[in-house]
Every structure is written in C-alpha cells, then in structure tokens.
Homo-oligomer: A and B are copies of this chain.
C-alpha cells in the first residue's frame, strides 16, 4: 500500500511530538493527575479543547457549505440547463482554492515569519504523492460519462451512497484506524438512511442495473473513497506542516489534471465559444461555494477524518432537503423522514460507540 511507503519514508520527528501531545490531552481527561503534572495536564486540557473546537468549526463549515452547494445546484437547475463547460468551472474552482491558500499563507508569513512548516518550497519526497488524489478524481470523473450507459441519473444518485461504505472500508484498510462494531453498525445505517431519504417512485429501477453497471458503480465508489482516504493520509503524514501549504500543492495538481480534462472533454466548446461561455452570476456563486467547501474538506481531513467528512456531508444532504421545503416548496416524503431518523440514530451510534 502506498500509505505504508509514506509512513516508512517518514523522516519527521513531529509525529512523536503529536503522540506526546495526544497523551497530554488524555491526561487532562482522566482527572487522575499527580499534582506535579497539573501544569502539563491543564495544557493538555487546553489542547484538547482547542482540538475539539477546531474540529467542530471545520465540520460545521463543511456541513453548511455542502448544504448550500446542493441548494445552488437546485437553483441553477430551476434557472435552466447548464450552458457552461463543467470542466472549465472545475478548473476555476482549483485555481481559486490555490489562490485562497496562497492568500492565507502570505498572512501567516507576515505574522509568524517563514518556518520549515509553512514554507512553500517542498522536496520531491513530500510532493510526489500529491498528484495521486487529483489523478484518482479525474479518472473517476471520466468513468462517470460511461456509467450512464448502464444507469440513469437518479439511479446513479442512489448508487453513489456506496461511497459511504467504500470510504469506511478503505479508511480501515489504508489508514489502519479502527471503528468499533457499534460504529460499523452506524456506518451501514448511514448508507441505508441516506439511500432511504432519497427514495422515490422510480428508485426501484436501480435494482435492474446490469452486472457491468454494478461493477462500474463499485469501482467508482472505491476510487472516490480511495481518493478521500489517500488525501487524509497525505495531509496527516506531517501534522505540523501548515495545511495551506499542503492544500496549495494538492490544488496545483488539481489545476493540472483539470486542464487535462478540459482538453479531453470540452476542447471544441472552449475553442469555439470561449473559456467563459455560458457563465452566469449563479455559476460564479457555485464556483465560489465549491472552492470554499473544497478547503473545508481539506480542513476536516487535517483536524478530523474521512468518517467525520462522510457524516458531515450526509447530514448536509438532509439539511438541504429541509431548507428546500421553505425555499422551493419541496414536499418531504415519508421515506425522507424515515431515512433522516435512521441517519440521526447512526450519528448517535458513531459517538456512543467510540472505542475507549
């Protein structure tokens, strides 16, 4: 596995420091600290609180951004068909994320000075793994065009919930992190609950998917899960490294691979009608939103993990539906209420089932 190689190559001592600071947090939690340790323990408690706060903030940000993302999509659909080339929009999203990371970095450099952890320059050993997630996403997006030969669009929406399971499995295998049995039960329920919430009268058609369709859906779920888990592995490999530098390199390769996608998929349209053909105010809003959610995903990977990301985006999907009731006069189905209840229980189980 590639991740093991990263681990083996690791020449940082920072990880040990991180373990030490984790231990401090635990000490702060146990309330059985000898008086000589009180100062350290207090520091530990403080670190723990900040960790939790940061985790909470980035998770909430991701949830809200993902919800508004879905609402923008509904809005843009109501406004009419996509007239612009999706690949150019994706390229701009990556460019904007890159620019925002650089902007954040210049502020940090101004305040803290340039250090080993926040300098932009990198080594081949550090940077060589950064193109992999972008390459995986590109490959997945290309496959997406072929899966529609086997499944219709609503069916694909349902099959995409397989991502939840693939992320859990790859998180376990690649990152070697354990979930308790109760948390696994919660994860299966999350997948069932999200799918239930999306059920409509045509959903049964997905059961008629042919074997090649299923295989492609599973491959795409694995690619998507792998890209997510691999990104977490890269970002967590060097915990002290500034997240904006890590993001910068991720997004530089994202720009490169999306440039390839423009050439492969939309070369004619861009050559004939121009790069920005069909852009509207809502397109700009969507690009802005996608860029911010992308950064939020990176932050969740840095300060929490893929499991939190999956829960956060799933809850966002339900929030979107509730908000749509007010915005677009949506009618919520019985299936939606049942699915939401199952997802809520799943969130509870994930927290109640934490390994001690």
Would you call A204 and B334 a contact (CB within 8 A)? Answer: yes
Q: Within the complex, which residue of B189, B195, B333, B341 is in contact with A204, where a contact is CB–CB below 8 Å?
A: B333
Would you call B207 and A334 a contact (CB within 8 A)? Answer: yes
Interface positions of A from 332 to 356, Cβ below 8 Å from B: 333-335, 338-339, 341-342, 345, 348-349, 352-353
Residues of B within 8 A of A189 (CB): 189, 342, 345
Closest B-chain residue to A333, C-beta based?
Answer: B204
A182 at the interface (CB under 8 A from B): yes
Would you call A188 and B334 a contact (CB within 8 A)? Answer: no
A136 to chain B, nearest CB (A): 28
Q: How large is the interface on A (under 10, 10 to 19, 20 to 34, 35 or more residues)?
A: 20 to 34
Would you call B192 and A334 a contact (CB within 8 A)? Answer: no
Would you call B199 and A345 a contact (CB within 8 A)? Answer: no
**Among the interface residues A334, A335, A339, which one has the most CB atoms of the partner chain B within 10 A?**
A334
Q: Within the complex, which residue of B199, B204, B352 is in contact with A182, where a contact is CB–CB below 8 Å?
A: B352
Stoichiometry, as copies per complex, reads: 2
Residues of B within 8 A of A30 (CB): none
A207-B334, A334-B204, A342-B342 known; A352-B196 Cβ under 8 A: no
Would you call A334 and B206 a contact (CB within 8 A)? Answer: yes
Would you call A195 and B338 a contact (CB within 8 A)? Answer: yes
Secondary structure type dominating chain A contacts: helix
Would you call A345 and B204 a contact (CB within 8 A)? Answer: no
Complex Cα distance A195/B336, Å? Answer: 12
A156 to chain B, nearest CB (A): 14
Closest 6 CB pairs of A and B: A201-B201, A192-B338, A196-B338, A185-B345, A192-B341, A203-B334
Given contacts A181-B352, A182-B182, 11 further A-B contacts (CB under 8 A): A158-B334, A182-B352, A185-B352, A188-B345, A189-B189, A189-B342, A189-B345, A192-B338, A192-B342, A192-B345, A199-B199
Q: Which residues of A contact B (CB under 8 A)?
A: 158, 181-182, 185, 188-189, 192-193, 195-196, 199, 201, 203-204, 206-207, 331, 333-335, 338-339, 341-342, 345, 348-349, 352-353
